[in-house]
Each structure stands twice: as C-alpha cells, then as structure tokens.
C-alpha cells in the first residue's frame, strides 16, 4: 500500500466515524487529512453518501496550488468537497495541524447559528480545550461573493490571530450563522475534537437552561485540567514504557 493509499484509508475511516458518532446526516460534512512531506491533502468527494464511500473515491489535492491529482487508471476522478478551499486555507496557515473535520452537528451548529462561542463553563470543557471555543464574525456579502469557502477559512484564521489562540490548544471554531470546524494533529484527533465540541455545545445549552447566568470556570481550574492531560508534566492516563 502506498502512502497515498494509506492516507485515503484513514480519511475514509474518519468520514465514516462522523456518521458513527451521529455528527452528520446525509452528506452534511467532510473530513480531510494532509501528508505534509508529499504536499498532498485527501478529502471526501462532494455530495457522495457516506455509505457508498470507498477509498478510491477520496480526492487527493496538491496543497501548493489546490489542483486535483488524477485518480489511478481505470478510476473516476470525483469532484472534491465544496469545502475544500476552507480546508486548504487552514492547512496553509497552520502547519501544526494534520486533519480537519466539518459537520453540521445539531448543538454546535445551533450555537454557531446564534453567533455565540462555547464558553468554558466547567472542567469537562477544560479537559480538551484550553479556553472558550470562539465563534467567528459573520462573512460580509463581498467576502461571500469573492470566494465563500476561502473566506470561511480566512475568518477562522483572522479570529485566532486576533485573539492569539493556538490551534492545537483550541482545536475548533464555530462559523457564525454556519456550523463548526474542528481539527487536530491527525485526522483521528480532528474527529475526536468534533465529537467533544458537539457534546460541549449540548452541555452549554442544558447548563444555560438551568442557570442562564452560569459563568466560565476560573482560569486556575481550567489550566489545571487542561495541563494535567496536555501539558509538559501531564499525568492523566498510563505512562508508556
């Protein structure tokens, strides 16, 4: 199996995991992964039902110029996801990430449609995100006209730059009036973060229903929970020999 074939297999599994975790309906989402050494991204084809996906359907794209790499002889080259330009923008801006997931999961999308962030209200949030999950500003009419999907990536990058956020410490964002994106060092971690973000959004709705004035967890408690899993002296889980 070639490295590209292996990457296609991983991206196929990631896309199917979105269905397994209940994050997508019909064709409402996509996952991608990148091979930095080869300069190639692999992403779900546009509008293809998940139950019909096969490894050879996954579309390979050059990071440098966004050109589709033709499929092997005897295989059809499918059109890539319409969100491909967004994925490319994020990969180009953040060399540390290796996988991206976009869904329209119910609760995270509801919060995005409200134009709100997901604040860190408790330690469950702090275990995976080192602060609030931001919501971008709405796109302008001109940005949508000039290049909707590119602009979607640009407003995520803009928000992270303005707030000096580390994309690996805050591995996701909400697009105002749209839906969530999540990412990680690998596509498997991107799926994991998408699942966590959906659950955090659900917990936010429930918490604010019970206590509309609930405030964010204190920074010292947030840092403790995040660092014990992800910091240089992390002690959660088992030590590998």
Per residue, what are the HEC states of 149-165? HHHHHHHHHHHHHHCCC
What is the CATH classification number for the domain harbouring 19?
A: 3.40.225.10
Residue 239 falls inside a structural domain: no
Residue 235 resides in a domain: no
Domain contains 12: yes
175 in any annotated domain? yes
* pLDDT of 74 higher than 70: no
- pLDDT by residue (tens digit) across 93-124? 999 999 999 999 999 999 999 999 999 999 99
What residues contact residue 183 under an 8 Å CB cut-off, 6+ apart? 90, 94, 97, 99, 100, 101, 167, 171, 172, 190, 193
Classify residue 93: in a domain, yes or no.
Answer: yes
**Rounded Cα gap, residues 173 and 117, in angstroms:** 8
Q: Please report whether residue 241 resides in a domain.
A: no
Q: Taking each helix axis from N to C terminus, what angle separates 187-210 and 3-20, rounded to the nearest 10 degrees?
A: 20
Domain count, the chain: 1
Q: Per-residue pLDDT tens for 166-179?
A: 999 999 999 999 99
Task: Domain of residue 173: give its range.
Answer: 3-230
What is the CA angle 202-144-39, rounded to 5? 80
Q: Does residue 236 fall inside a structural domain? A: no
pLDDT above 90 coverage of the chain, percent: 93
Query: What tokens appear for 11 in the block?
Result: 């991206």
Query: Which candidate, 15, 38, 19, 147, places its Cα nearest to that of 91?
Result: 38
CB 85 within 8 A of CB 150: yes
Higher pLDDT, 146 or 239: 146
The secondary structure element, H or E, covering residue 222 is helix 219-230
All residues at 6 or more sequence positions from 205 whose CB lies less than 8 Å from its CB, including other chains: 107, 110, 111
Residue 238 lies in a domain: no
Catalytic residues: 127, 236
pLDDT value of position 73: 65
pLDDT tens figures, 205-234: 999 999 999 999 999 999 999 999 999 999
């Amino acid at each position: 199996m070639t490295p590209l074939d292996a990457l296609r297999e991983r991206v196929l599994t990631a896309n199917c995991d979105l269905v397994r975790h209940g994050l997508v309906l019909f064709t409402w989402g996509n996952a991608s992964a990148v091979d930095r050494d080869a300069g190639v991204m692999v992403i779900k084809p546009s509008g293809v039902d998940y139950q019909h996906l096969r490894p050879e359907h996954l579309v390979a794209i050059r990071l440098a110029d966004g050109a589709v790499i033709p499929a092997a002889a005897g295989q059809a080259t499918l059109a890539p996801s319409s969100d491909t330009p967004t994925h490319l923008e994020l990969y180009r801006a953040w060399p540390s990430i290796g996988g991206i997931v976009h869904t329209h999961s119910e609760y995270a999308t509801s919060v995005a449609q409200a134009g709100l962030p997901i604040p860190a209200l408790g330690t469950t949030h702090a275990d995976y995100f080192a602060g609030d999950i931001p919501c971008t500003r709405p796109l302008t009419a001109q940005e949508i006209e000039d290049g909707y999907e590119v602009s979607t990536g640009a407003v995520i990058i803009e928000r992270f730059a303005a707030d000096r956020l580390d994309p690996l410490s805050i591995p996701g964002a909400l697009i105002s009036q749209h839906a969530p994106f999540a990412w990680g060092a690998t596509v498997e971690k991107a799926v994991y973060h998408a699942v966590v973000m959906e659950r955090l959004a659900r917990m936010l709705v429930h918490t604010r229903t019970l206590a509309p004035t609930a405030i964010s967890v204190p920074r010292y408690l947030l840092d403790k929970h995040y660092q014990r899993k992800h910091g240089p002296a992390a002690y959660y889980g088992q030590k590998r020999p």
